[in-house]
Chain A
Amino acid sequence: MSSTPQDLEDLVGQKYQHGFVTDIDSDTLPPGVDEDVVRVISRKKGEPAFLLDWRLKAFRHWQTMTEPHWAQLHYKPIDYQSISYYSAPKSKKDGPKSLADVDPKLLETYDKLGVPLHERARLAGVAVDAVFDSVSVATTFKERLSEAGVIFCPFSEAVKNHPALLEQYLGTVVPPGDNFYAALNSAVFTDGSFVYIPKGVRCPMELSTYFRINAANTGQFERTLIIADEGSHVSYLEGCTAPMRDENQLHAAVVELIALDDANIKYSTVQNWYPGDENGVGGIYNFVTKRGECRGRNSRISWTQVETGSAITWKYPSCVLSGEGSVGEFYSVAVANHMQQADTGTKMIHIGRNTRSTIVSKGISAGRAQNTYRGLVKILPSADGARNYTQCDSLLMGDRCGAHTFPYVEVRNPGATVEHEATTSRIGEDQLFYLMQRGLSQEDAVNLIVNGFCKSVFKELPMEFAVEAQNLLAVSLEGSVG
């Protein structure tokens, strides 16, 4: 192992040997990654020694790993040495100077989604000092949260203010060497969110990254850690229905959730990263590791996701059900249109007795997109009385797209119950004609059919999010029939 960093340094050393250390005050590191880059990031963040060590271990492990290729995804090889791993704040030099320079199609989409004017520039990555109305809103929120004892802050702030909690929990659900992308994230993550809900506290509001203004633009290697202490409840919303433009093509986030006894975590995502143009050029590659552990008895973790963006999606929000009687849930709508490729699903690992899990996956494919569900239900010998129910439906629009389903089931306890249902259907001419004969436009007819198909997932989303998600689906699938 110890020789590996040296090899890498030899490989890319020319550029960095001297440059980066003196460069420490500049905003952006030159492209490439080695141990020194990891050190620089850690130093810039003012991190304690344990965290630097942790990063370095992750980095050394990452160097021994190879990119996984088992997913049903096709893309050109990623050159990890061509990426810059630190920019603070993220450089907007290459971004558009004003809304006039932004792709008109993106603006059209904002219009359709009803994004307020003052939000559009920020979302489109325009280099303006985007101070928007929610600053005051966010301040009010912070006061209410601190009254309840809830900690909700940027990850880098937690490093400074709550190092003990971090040291105790970081990497305990997604170990630094878990997989290629998680290892890379562990080595070079720059920021993210930290949430701690104290014992017996029901978080007084939905926690939304949208309001976490001071940590905006940390998208590329984001790290989120949520700890729900005994008997606490929290609902966390990630993402935004408005499409986000980003200069970074590769995204590799890690999210860890920990639920202690009787705790309840609901994590909802609407992911709408730029999917690239109709030919798939320029879209985001999204390789995300999301995992929650129901560590305590009767705890519950529920993932709900609506995935419509990104050129490539590789994402399997999972639950490790260790605590007796704990519950894991996964509700997902994944839409792939044009040239998008999505390989997404979940893992439910049953360890504790009487653990239960539910998986409801709805995949929609249109255009020339490929949409794959990949799920693992694993029942360990210790999981007496474990139960799983999986339902996995695919909807095809047009005849050039694909839907694939890979359900893996591994049962090592004879007392477990595992159910799996799967369907694949096509939006039928008959359905469209029926609705149009009742006076609905073709577009409304398609939306109605799609929303009906996704209903069992949408009802898991917080109310306003659900309405936004419906609109988002309508925009994402516009023009895909007829």
Chain B
Amino acid sequence: MSNIQHGDVVLDIRGLTVSVKGRKILSGLDLTVRAGEVHAIMGPNGAGKSTLSQVLAGRADYEILAGTATYLGEDLLALPPEERARRGLFLGFQYPVEIPGVNNVYLLKAALNARRKQIGLEEVDAFEFLAIVRDKMKLMQMDESFLKRGVNEGFSGGEKKRNEILQMTVLEPTLAILDETDSGLDIDALKVVSNGVNSLRSPARAVVLVTHYQRLLDHIVPDFVHVLAGGRILKSGDRGLALELERRGYDWVLEEANAA
């Protein structure tokens, strides 16, 4: 994956139309994400932001009615979820699920090795692995005892989000989609999480932030901001758009789009 250059197209979505249980959630969504870029996707509740994240990661409950999504030149929608993950697509969940009795460290190692195998690297042994993880845990300000706990088992909301970002920094994905990673975080945790994401920014990677709040973008400065409403991207801009949205809300974007 190291042959990805700044500016290469990582993700290209064309006319994506998706329904859940007969209800259309996305309708004709277009989005292009290139290596080196950070995109923020904002929008009112129920606009389809989480649906977009889940569809890109391969959740089964969605019906693709039309459109395409190409990831690093491959038909993303044809790949099962684990294949997408192994190719470097990472989803930071809005609500990370608890898996009792399964060690964090075990899952992390299995995930890392699945990824390494895909890109032709040898599996890491326990020693190398711990060295990698300890380093990332320092960055995320997490205590080592955490490794032996069950995956998200009994974690607070903030701990769960931190754990998502820890996993991301260990897996070093090509495309990270972070679904409301900032929700439920206090300001200190928000800084830690943002540091984690910023540490990953590189010319060969891309990040898509799905968020409600502009405040995250103070810490992770995006190259592009998009407004997702009514199942498609209604407006795109730079950082300034996020600030304007914070000031004016979303209604004016909807009105503008209706007028057009």
Contacts and interface: CB of A to CB of B under 8 A. Distances in A.
Interface string B104-135: 00110011001100100000000000000000
Contacts of A442: 82
B85 interface: yes
A218 to B, nearest CB: 37
A438 B171 CA distance: 9
B216 interface: no
Interface residues of A, number: 23
Contacts of A433: 57-60, 81
Given A429-B60, A451-B102, A452-B101, A436 B110 contact: no
B115 to A, nearest CB: 6
Interface in B58-111: 58-61, 80-82, 84-86, 90-91, 93, 96-97, 99-102, 106-107, 110-111
Interface stretch (A101-109, A182-190, A453-461): A453-461
Interface in A42-70: none
A440 B101 CA distance: 17
B101 A451 contact: yes
A436 B79 CA distance: 12
Interface in A155-190: none
Contact of A439 (B59, B61, B85): B85
Given A440-B110, A444-B110, A448-B107, A435 B99 contact: yes
A434 B85 contact: no
B157 interface: no
A405 B92 CA distance: 37
**Residue from the set A431, A433, A438, A444 with the largest chain B CB neighbour count within 10 Å:** A438
B256 to A, nearest CB: 35
A454 B100 CA distance: 10
A149 interface: no
A455 B58 CA distance: 29
A452 B99 contact: yes
A441 B167 CA distance: 17
Interface in B153-174: 167, 171
B150 interface: yes
A95 B223 CA distance: 73
B14 to A, nearest CB: 23
B96 A434 contact: yes
B97 A428 contact: yes
B157 to A, nearest CB: 16
Contacts of A451: 101-102
Given A439-B86, A448-B110, A453 B100 contact: yes
Contacts of A439: 82, 85-86, 110-111, 114-115, 118, 171
A454 B101 CA distance: 8
B61 to A, nearest CB: 8
A452 B110 CA distance: 14
Contacts of B57: 433, 437
Nearest to B84: A437
A439 B83 CA distance: 7
B107 A438 contact: yes
B111 A449 contact: no
Interface string A394-434: 00000000000000000000000000000000001111011
A355 to B, nearest CB: 29
A453 B106 CA distance: 14
Contacts of A452: 99-102, 150-151
**Residue from the set B59, B82, B90, B118 with the largest chain A CB neighbour count within 10 Å:** B82
B93 A434 contact: yes
Interface string A189-203: 000000000000000
Contacts of A456: 101
A455 B100 CA distance: 9
A440 B99 CA distance: 14
**Residue from the set A436, A440, A442 with the largest chain B CB neighbour count within 10 Å:** A436
A440 B59 CA distance: 14
B85 A448 contact: no
A437 B85 contact: yes
B101 A438 contact: no
A453 B86 CA distance: 26
A431 B150 CA distance: 13
A455 B101 contact: yes
Contacts of A444: 110
Contacts of B58: 433, 436-437
Contacts of B82: 436-437, 439-442
Nearest to A362: B101
Interface in A210-249: none
Interface string A440-479: 1110100011011111100000000000000000000000
Contacts of B90: 437
A431 B85 contact: no
A449 B110 contact: no
Nearest to B102: A452
B101 A436 contact: no
A438 B97 contact: no
Contacts of B84: 437
B88 to A, nearest CB: 10
A239 B61 CA distance: 42
A356 to B, nearest CB: 24
A440 B114 contact: yes
Given A430-B97, A433-B59, A437-B81, A448 B111 contact: no
Contacts of B99: 431, 434-435, 448-449, 452
18 contacts: A429-B61, A431-B97, A431-B99, A433-B57, A433-B58, A433-B59, A434-B93, A437-B57, A438-B107, A439-B82, A439-B85, A439-B115, A440-B110, A440-B111, A448-B102, A448-B107, A449-B102, A452-B101
Given A433-B81, A435-B99, A437-B82, 5 more contacts: A433-B57, A434-B93, A435-B107, A436-B82, A437-B84
The 3 closest A-B pairs by CB, nearest first: A452-B101, A439-B114, A452-B102
